[in-house]
């Protein structure tokens, strides 16, 4: 019995040694540009939650083979839950565009209105050798100014060409978030001044 247990343990140890090493990926910008020097905005910024489709909100990268097939890549993983990765990457880019920090969960200045953003990702598609695509509905809210709370809900469908390598696919998703942040920031700035509308 002891001999059999030792043989099983040795077998499991050899199997573990032969397992491919896990690779980790992030949506954070590897070399972020210098912060945009903007005048202090007339609002405070609050980044709320990001909702992600359950099919892709996995520790592993989930890629599409064709219209119907999804493949979970066991040894290729996000460095954090995908919804958190997306949230943090979008927040970091918006902070640069808006020229202000995210104060979610922090005390607010009662003298300045708060602009909030919530994002509902409807599709997060990864097709190696073809594209990275995000379809997201995002909502801006403004509270604390002289008017009643107001909201604006928009949608963005953004697609970037990707190479066959997973690193290229992840970089394509980073570019998608770059574009999304730019769209949101331009809209938010104009909307806060009373002149903004959803991007075409």
> Would you say 141 and 151 are in contact if contact means Cβ atoms under 8 Å apart?
yes
Nearest residue to 154 via CA among 123, 125, 196? 196
- Report domain extents, the chain: 43-192
User: What is the CATH architecture of 43-192?
Assistant: 3-Layer(aba) Sandwich (3.40)
Secondary structure (DSSP) of 48-74: EEEE--TTT-SSEEEEESSSS-EEEEE
pLDDT tens track, the chain, 200 positions: 444 433 333 433 444 455 678 999 999 986 655 555 456 778 899 999 999 999 999 999 999 987 778 999 999 999 999 999 999 999 999 999 999 999 998 988 888 889 999 999 999 999 999 999 999 999 999 987 556 678 999 999 999 999 999 999 999 999 999 999 999 999 998 888 887 788 87
- Quickly count: other Cβ atoms within 10 Å of residue 109's Cβ: 11
Choose among 88, 97, 91: nearest CA to 182: 97
Residue pair 112/80 in contact (Cβ under 8 Å)? The answer is no
Task: Note the pTM of the prediction, 2 decimals.
Answer: 0.84
């Amino acid at each position: 019995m002891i001999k059999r247990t030792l043989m099983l343990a040795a077998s499991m140890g050899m199997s573990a040694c032969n397992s491919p090493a896990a690779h980790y990926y992030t949506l954070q910008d590897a070399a972020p540009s210098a912060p945009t020097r903007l005048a202090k905005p007339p609002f405070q910024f609050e980044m709320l939650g990001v909702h992600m489709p359950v099919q892709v909100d996995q520790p592993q990268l989930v890629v599409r083979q064709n219209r119907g097939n999804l493949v979970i890549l066991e040894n290729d993983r996000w460095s954090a839950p995908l919804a958190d990765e997306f949230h943090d990457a979008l927040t970091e880019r918006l902070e640069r565009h808006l020229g202000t920090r995210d104060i979610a969960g922090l005390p607010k200045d009662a003298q300045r209105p708060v602009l909030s953003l919530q994002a509902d990702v409807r599709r997060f598609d990864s097709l190696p050798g073809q594209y990275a695509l995000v379809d997201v509905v995002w909502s801006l809210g403004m509270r604390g100014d002289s008017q009643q709370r107001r909201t604006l809900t928009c949608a963005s469908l953004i697609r970037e060409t990707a190479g066959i390598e997973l690193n290229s696919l992840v970089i394509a998703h980073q570019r998608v978030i770059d574009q999304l942040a730019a769209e949101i920031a331009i809209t938010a700035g104009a909307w806060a001044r009373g002149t903004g509308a959803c991007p075409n």
